[in-house]
Amino acid sequence: MAGPALDTDNGTLAGLSARAASFASRWPGLSAALLGLVAACGFPPLHAWWIALPALTLFAAHVHAAPTWKGAAWRGWMFGWAHLTLANNWIATAFTYQAKMPEVLGWAAVPLLCVYLAVYPALAALAAHLAAKRSGPLAFGAVFAAGWIVTEWLRSWVFTGYPWPPLGLMLLGNWDAQGVARLLPWLGTYALSGLAILVAAIFLWLATRPMPSKWHRAIALVGFSIAVIVGPMIVPHRTMDNSDIAYTLVQPLIPQDEINDGTKFEEQFQRTADLTRPGNDTSRLVLWPESAIPDYLEEGYPDRYYRATTYAANPTLARERIGRVLGDDTTLLTGVVNLDIGMRPDGVLGAITARNSVVALNGEGDITHHYAKAHLVPYGEYLPLENWLGAIGLARLTAGTVPYQPGPGPGTLDLGEHGLAGVQICYEIVFSGQVVDRENRPDYLFNPSNDGWFGSWGPPQHLAQARMRAIEEGLPVLRATTTGISAVIDANGIVRQSIPTGVAGKVEGFVPAAKPPTLFARFGNALALTWAALIAILGLGLPRLLALRSERS
């Protein structure tokens, strides 16, 4: 069926069939939601960017077609709600690994969370409508892209922030290719998301502008796709050189349904130790994941807390046992839980807060450094909107009732011959611009995680976002997880070595070298916001420039 004639005033549904245009006009919210679902397929594990980008183009056209500001905001909200609900389905899987709530609540928790998260795409759509409704698709798309940058940045920190996943994640290449994400050092993650919107607007513009024939249009669209998207997405990138820091990265395979089972603790430790011991006569950095050690290793806790394993009744003996596994010249970085002890409201001396932490131990079993997680996981380590969600029976997913306390933020641990280590525990790695101490830049980032409760969508998305941090900061990232995917990522975002999900194993080698500080490493998200301002100025000024050009001709 022939498409409708181009309406040069709004120029938004050109290229769609009349039937599709009629459906979109009659059911704007449903259409936006369907496009949101398709666009979410651009994220790992599907990574179907070849259908996600066309869906994004149709979404831009759909928002442009909105007759009112309410209609634009509604379309943006419905797109965001469906898009983010599918992308975050791994949160629902996490509900299967706890006993406090019915598992089915997980499938309510995700869309409920996305009711809030979808506000940000709605705001971007609203801003584009108010500022550039009467502009052509290219100018409109530029303003939409600028709004998306700002709102995605807001989503990363408002109410403690939840940026998972950024739209630009679909532009990351496969493990051996950077994709369009090679621009991250000059853009930052949120500006890359804006670029995805801008690319969609360019596709829309090419599909609607007058051309001599349909073949010219096809050549323009295919040529732009190959040059800007397809080529970068599939071309492998060279790997980086290595530093002289040797490492052993261990994935012990601790299934989530066994992680709090006291009868399995000794078996888990022995499996971790057996993977670690070979090579303990050399100088090296050993990396264990989050949740690798059930014991409390700190001194000074009431006796009832030292009960995880036989050795945990004496934290000194527990640390010394770990030291014997490591060897004399080794530094271990491992995830632990630390407690803050004080007088509780019931008058009993005990834990008043807990901290999800990483400690460094030497070969003698001495704790030399600490880092405490700053960004806690919603639903996992704290309950968002606790007064409301708690009233309907929701609770956090982690075991215990002691509240988690966030740490101060990025820090660098000086490990001597084993380098300057930046630490980002699990979910922290997804926060663009918030992973590095810029006053004391590390040589590498260590990202321990427990991905065992993340389902099939969570681990590949988590790994992909760690790759984006590597590219934009110019730093290698070493990911050790309990069950997979563990990986060594160089400063170009290329996965050097990996251990898949559901496998016990280790990888060894030398830590990839860091790059000099990138532009993003120097300016952080101020760089992305600068791009937002420039793109907005371009979008708002473009119609006037075209009008002046028309008058002169």
Is 118 a domain residue? yes
> Please, which residues have CB within 8 angstroms of residue 493's CB and are 6 or more apart in sequence?
172, 178, 181, 184, 237, 467, 468, 470, 471
Q: Is-contact 484 502, C-beta < 8 A?
A: yes
Whether the predicted pLDDT of 485 surpasses 60: yes
| pLDDT, tens digit, 9 for 90 and up, residues 150-183 | 999 999 999 889 999 999 999 999 999 999 999 9
Q: In this predicted structure, what is the pLDDT of residue 4?
A: 36
Q: In this predicted structure, what is the pLDDT of residue 397?
A: 66
Q: How confident is the model at residue 541 (pLDDT cuts 50, 70, 90)?
A: confident
Are both 232 and 271 inside the same structural domain? no
Q: Which of 474, 464, 486, 482 is nearest to 512 (CA)?
A: 474
Is 327 a domain residue? yes
Q: In this predicted structure, what is the pLDDT of residue 188?
A: 97
Q: Is-contact 169 464, C-beta < 8 A?
A: yes
Is 359 a domain residue? yes
Are both 446 and 379 inside the same structural domain? yes
Q: In this predicted structure, what is the pLDDT of residue 391?
A: 65
Mean pLDDT (whole number) for 516-539: 96
How many structural domains comprise the chain?
Answer: 2
Tell me if residue 79 falls in helix, strand or coil. Answer: helix
What pTM was computed for the model?
0.91
Q: In this predicted structure, what is the pLDDT of residue 109?
A: 83
The alpha-carbon radius of gyration of the chain (Å, integer) is: 25
Distance CA 108, CA 206 (A): 41
Place of tokens 């995880």: 308
Are both 354 and 260 inside the same structural domain? yes
Distance CA 188, CA 523 (A): 10
Q: In this predicted structure, what is the pLDDT of residue 307?
A: 67
Q: Is-contact 309 502, C-beta < 8 A?
A: no
Is 345 a domain residue? yes
Lowest mean pLDDT among 189-203, 227-241, 478-492: 227-241
Are both 439 and 475 inside the same structural domain? yes
Mean pLDDT (whole number) for 500-504: 94
Distance CA 381, CA 386 (A): 12
Q: In this predicted structure, what is the pLDDT of residue 278?
A: 93
Are both 209 and 303 inside the same structural domain? no
Q: Which of 484, 43, 528, 515 is nearest to 237 (CA)?
A: 515
Place of tokens 């651009």: 42
| pLDDT, tens digit, 9 for 90 and up, residues 56-94 | 999 999 999 999 999 999 999 999 999 999 999 998 887
Is 23 a domain residue? no
| pLDDT, tens digit, 9 for 90 and up, residues 8-53 | 334 444 444 566 667 777 899 999 999 999 999 999 999 999 999 9
> Which strand ranges, in their side-by-side order, compose the sheet holding 486-489?
412-414, 420-423, 444-449, 477-481, 486-489, 495-499
Q: In this predicted structure, what is the pLDDT of residue 311?
A: 60
Backbone phi, psi, residue 76, to 5°: -65, -40
Q: How confident is the model at residue 2 (pLDDT cuts 50, 70, 90)?
A: very low
Whether the predicted pLDDT of 192 surpasses 60: yes
Q: In this predicted structure, what is the pLDDT of residue 389?
A: 65
Is 25 a domain residue? no
Is 403 a domain residue? yes
Q: In this predicted structure, what is the pLDDT of residue 551?
A: 61
Paired tokens of 469: 């941090």
Are both 246 and 233 inside the same structural domain? no
Are both 227 and 277 inside the same structural domain? no
Are both 338 and 429 inside the same structural domain? yes
Q: How many CB atoms lie within 10 A of CB 130?
A: 13
Q: In this predicted structure, what is the pLDDT of residue 394?
A: 65
Question: Whole-number mean pLDDT of the chain?
Answer: 88
| Domain assignment of residue 482, given as a range | 242-514
Q: Where are the alpha helices (DSSP H) in 88-136?
A: 90-94, 105-117, 119-132
Is 89 a domain residue? yes
Are both 484 and 540 inside the same structural domain? no
Question: Can you name the residues that pair with 131 across neighbouring β-strands?
Answer: none
Are both 365 and 330 inside the same structural domain? yes
Q: In this predicted structure, what is the pLDDT of residue 19?
A: 62
Q: Where are the alpha helices (DSSP H) in 277-339?
A: 315-326
Q: How many CB atoms lie within 10 A of CB 59?
A: 27
Are both 260 and 199 inside the same structural domain? no
Q: In this predicted structure, what is the pLDDT of residue 390?
A: 66
Paired tokens of 173: 């290449």
Q: How confident is the model at residue 1 (pLDDT cuts 50, 70, 90)?
A: very low
Are both 308 and 429 inside the same structural domain? yes
Backbone phi, psi, residue 377, to 5°: -85, 125
| pLDDT, tens digit, 9 for 90 and up, residues 349-406 | 888 888 999 999 999 999 999 999 998 887 677 776 667 766 666 666 666 678 888 9
The vertex-39 CA angle with 35 and 45, nearest 5°, equals 145
| pLDDT, tens digit, 9 for 90 and up, residues 251-294 | 999 998 888 888 888 899 999 999 999 999 999 999 999 988 88
Q: Is-contact 371 412, C-beta < 8 A?
A: no
Residue 388 belongs to domain with CATH number: 3.60.110.10
